[in-house]
Chain A
Amino acid sequence: MRLQRATAARQGRRGWLRRLEPVFYIAPAFLVLAAILAYPLGYSFWLSFHEWTLRGFRQGVPWVGLDNYVGLFSNVEFVSSLRVTFTFMAGALTLEFLFGMALALLLDHDLKGRGLMRSLILLPMMCTNVVIGLTWRLLFNYNFGLVNYYLVRLGLAPVEWLSKPAMALPSVIIVDVWNTTSFVALLLLAGLQALPEEPFEAARIDGASWWQVFRYLTLPLLRPTILVALLWRIIDTFRIFDVVYLLTAGGPARASETVSIYVYRYGFQTFNLGFASAASYMMILIMLIMAVVLARLIGRSEA
Chain B
Amino acid sequence: MHARRFVAKMLAVVLVLGLLAACAPAAAPTGAPAELTKPPVTAATAAPAEAKTPAAKKYPPIVVAIWSGPEHDNLVKTAAEYEKATGNKVTIEEIARESYHDKLTAVFLAGSGDYDVAYVSADWTPEWVKAETLMPFDTFISDKAVASPTLNLDLLRPGVDSLTFDGKVYGYPSEGDTAWLFYRKDLFEAKGLAVPQTWDEFLAAAQALNNPPDLYGALIGAKPDEAAWDFMHYFYAFGGQVVDKNWKVTVNNEAGVRALTFYSELLTKYKVVPPDVATYGYNEILTALQEGKVAMGIEWMAATQDLQDCSKSPKVCKDGQPQLEYTLVPGLKGADGKVSRGQGASQWGWVIPKATKNAEAAYKFVEWLTSHDGAKIWALNGGIPSNTEALADPDVVAKVPQFKLLAEAMPYRHLFPNTTVTTDMWNAFNDAINQTVAGAKTPQQALDEAAAKMTEALAKGGYTK
Chain A interfacial positions (CB closer than 8 Å to B): 53-58, 125-128, 130-131, 134-135, 141-143, 158, 160, 162-165, 183, 186-187, 190-191, 194, 224-225, 228, 232, 248-255, 265, 268-271, 298, 301-303
Residue of A nearest to B128 (CB): A54
A249 / chain B contacts, CB cutoff of 8 Å: 98, 223-225
Inter-subunit contact B21/A125 (CB<8 Å): yes
A228 and B131 contact, CB distance less than 8 A: no
Beyond contacts A53-B460, A127-B29, A248-B279: 16 other A-B pairs, Cβ-Cβ < 8 A, are A54-B127, A54-B423, A58-B130, A58-B132, A130-B36, A134-B33, A142-B274, A228-B7, A228-B11, A249-B223, A249-B225, A251-B438, A253-B441, A254-B440, A269-B423, A271-B423
Contact of A194 with B131 in the complex, beta carbons under 8 Å: no
B407 interface residue per 8 A CB criterion: no
Partner of B276, one of A57, A134, A143, A191: A143
Contacts of A271 in B (CB 8 A): 105, 109, 127, 423
A264 to chain B, nearest CB (A): 8
User: Is the CB–CB distance between A142 and B275 below 8 Å?
Assistant: yes
Q: How far is the CA of A57 from the CA of B109 in the complex (A)?
A: 11
Minimum distance in angstroms from B207 CB to a CB of chain A: 21
Contact with A along B401-443 (1 / 0, CB 8 A): 0000000000000000000110110010001001101111100
The residue of chain A having its C-beta at the shortest distance from the C-beta of B225 within the complex is A249
**Which of A191, A225, A228, A249 gathers most chain B CB within 10 Å?**
A249
- The listed residue (A56, A126, A194) touching B130 by CB distance below 8 A is A56
Partner of B10, one of A131, A165, A191, A268: A191
Nearest B residue to A251 via CB reads B224
Instruction: Determine if A127 and B28 form an interchain contact, defined as CB atoms under 8 angstroms apart.
Output: yes
Cβ of A25 to closest chain B Cβ, rounded Å: 20
Can you list 28 A-B pairs, Cβ within 8 angstroms, ordered by A?
Answer: A54-B109, A54-B127, A55-B461, A57-B131, A58-B131, A126-B24, A126-B28, A127-B24, A127-B29, A130-B33, A131-B31, A134-B33, A135-B29, A141-B276, A142-B276, A143-B276, A143-B293, A183-B17, A194-B9, A251-B223, A252-B437, A253-B278, A253-B439, A265-B427, A269-B427, A270-B423, A271-B423, A302-B7
Known: A54-B131, A165-B440, A190-B10. A126 touches B434 (CB 8 A): no
Measured in the bound complex, the distance between the Cα atoms of B130 and A225 in whole Å is 54
Least CB separation from B21: chain A residue? A125
A163/B423 contact (C-beta < 8 A), A56-B130, A131-B29, A249-B224 known: no
Residues of B within 8 A of A160 (CB): 275-276
Among A56, A183, A251, A268, which residue has the most Cβ atoms of chain B within 10 A?
A251
In the complex the two chains form, is B3's CB within 8 Å of A254's CB? no
A269 and B3 alpha carbons, distance in the complex (Å): 47
> Please, how many angstroms separate the alpha-carbon atoms of A124 and B427 in the complex?
35
* B165, chain A: closest CB distance, angstroms: 12
**CB-CB < 8 A to B29: which residues of A?**
127, 131, 135
Bound state CA distance, A250 and B98, in angstroms?
13
B277 at the A/B interface (Cβ < 8 Å)?
yes
- Residue in contact with A302 in the complex, picked from B3, B14, B101, B276, CB distance below 8 Å: B3
Chain B residues with CB under 8 A of A54:
105, 109, 127-128, 130-131, 423
Chain B neighbourhood of A252, CB < 8 A: 222, 224, 278-279, 434, 437-438, 440
Choose among A53, A58, A187 the residue with the greatest number of B CB atoms under 10 Å from its CB.
Answer: A53
State which residues 1-58 of B face A: CB under 8 Å.
3-4, 6-7, 9-11, 13-14, 17, 20-21, 24-25, 27-29, 31-33, 35-36
- Given A55-B130, A190-B13, A134 and B461 touching (CB < 8 A)? no
> Are B127 and A128 in contact (CB-based, < 8 A)?
no
Contact A232:B14 (CB < 8 A) given known A54-B127, A301-B3, A302-B4: yes
A165 cross-chain contacts in B, Cβ below 8 A: 438-440
Q: Give every chain A residue within 8 A of B437 (Cβ-Cβ).
A: 252
Interface string of B185-227 (1 = CB under 8 A from A): 0000000000000000000000000000100000000111100
Instruction: Answer whether A162 and B276 are a contact pair too, CB < 8 Å, given A253-B434, A268-B102, A269-B102.
Output: yes
Q: Would you call B440 and A253 a contact (CB within 8 A)?
A: yes
Is B335 positioned at the interface, with any CB of A under 8 Å from its CB? no
Query: Which residues from A are CB-within-8-Å of B131?
Result: 54-55, 57-58
> Is B275 a contact partner of A163 (Cβ separation < 8 A)?
yes
- State the 5 A-B residue pairs at the shortest beta-carbon distance, nearest first: A251-B224, A253-B438, A142-B276, A253-B440, A163-B276
Contact assessment for A55 and B421 in the assembled complex, using a CB-CB cutoff below 8 Å? yes
Shortest CB distance A271–B (Å): 6
Assembly CA distance A160 to B274 (angstroms)? 10
Q: Is the CB of A254 within 8 A of B435?
A: yes
Q: Answer yes or no: B145 CB below 8 A from chain A CBs.
A: no
A224–B9 Cα distance when bound, in Å, is 11
* Residues from chain B with Cβ under 8 Å of A162 in the complex: 276, 279
In the complex, are the beta carbons of A187 and B434 less than 8 A apart? Answer: no
Q: Provide the bound-state CA to CA distance between A168 and B139, in Å.
A: 51
* A187: contacting residue among B6, B13, B213, CB under 8 A: B13
Q: Kindly report which residue of chain A lies nearest to residue B279, judged by CB atoms.
A: A163
Q: Are the C-beta atoms of B105 and A268 separated by less than 8 Å? A: yes
In the complex, what residues of A have CB within 8 A of residue B11's CB? Answer: 228
- Whether the Cβ atoms of A187 and B278 lie closer than 8 Å is no
Cα of A141 to Cα of B287 in the assembled complex, Å:
12
Chain A residues with CB under 8 Å of B431's CB are 254
Shortest Cβ distance from residue B1 to the other chain A in the assembled complex, whole angstroms: 9
B2 CB to nearest A CB, Å: 9
Chain A min CB distance to B30 (Å)? 9
- Which residue of chain A lies nearest to B288 when distances are taken between CB atoms in the complex? A143
Q: Which residues of B contact A268 (CB under 8 A)?
A: 102, 105-106
Q: Which residues of A contact B293 (CB under 8 A)?
A: 143
Bound Cα distance from A298 to B424, whole angstroms: 45
Which A residue sits closest to B133, measured CB to CB? Answer: A54
| Contact among B7, B25, B130, B291 for A224, CB-based, below 8 A | B7
Contacts of A270 in B (CB 8 A): 423-424, 427
Query: In the complex, A128→B37 CA distance in Å?
Result: 14
With CB as the reference atom, state the residue of chain B lying closest to A298.
B7
Report chain B residues within 8 Å CB of A232.
Answer: 14
Q: 1/0 contact trace for B432-465 toward A, CB 8 Å?
A: 0011011111000000000000000000110000
Q: CA–CA, A232 to B10, complex, Å?
A: 11
Bound CA span A3–B35, Å: 77
> For residue A164, which residues in chain B have a CB less than 8 angstroms away from its CB?
278, 438
* Separation of A159 and B191 alpha carbons in the complex (Å): 31
Contact B224 A128 (CB under 8 A): no
In the bound complex, residues from chain B placing their C-beta under 8 Å from that of A228 are 7, 10-11, 14
Q: How far is the CA of A302 from the CA of B438 in the complex (A)?
A: 49
Please report the C-alpha to C-alpha distance between residue A223 and residue B7 in the assembled complex, in whole angstroms.
Answer: 11
Inside 8 A of A253's CB, which chain B residues have their CB?
A: 278, 434-435, 438-441
